[in-house]
């Protein structure tokens, strides 16, 4: 639920801010891990490449969830986001 000034209102009743800096940091981590995965593939280290591909996805998903929260979308436990219009 959106509060005033872009704050998110939690179910506990108080407003909370979504840290967009953390979303940016997660995207930077995803980019770094993607580059490491690519380099590992070139070196033939497929197990390490696979590990970094997984962490790339995790960081990108974390950034997406933060951005969805900042946009005011409800994130269900299954990972499927719903916009406020979908909830009406």
Map out the domains of the chain as residue ranges: 20-70
SS3 22: helix
pLDDT tens across the length of the chain (88 residues): 444 444 544 455 555 678 899 999 999 999 999 999 999 999 999 999 999 999 999 999 999 999 999 998 766 555 555 555 555 5
Q: Is the pTM of this model over 0.85?
A: no
Q: How far apart are CA 66 and CA 82, in angstroms?
A: 14
SS3 9: strand
Instruction: List b or e across 27-38, with b for residues whose CB sees 16 or more CB atoms inside 10 angstroms.
Output: bebbeebbebbe
Residue at token pair 């916009």: 83
Could you tell me where the DSSP H helices lie in 1-88? 20-42, 46-70, 84-87
């Amino acid at each position: 639920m959106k509060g005033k000034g872009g704050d998110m209102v939690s179910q506990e009743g108080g407003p909370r801010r979504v840290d967009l800096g953390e979303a940016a940091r997660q995207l930077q981590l995803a980019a770094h891990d993607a580059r490491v995965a690519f380099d590992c593939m070139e070196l033939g280290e497929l197990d390490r490449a696979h590990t970094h591909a997984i962490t790339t996805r995790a960081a990108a998903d974390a950034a997406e969830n933060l951005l969805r929260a900042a946009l005011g979308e409800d994130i269900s436990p299954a990972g499927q986001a719903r916009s406020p219009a979908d909830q009406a």
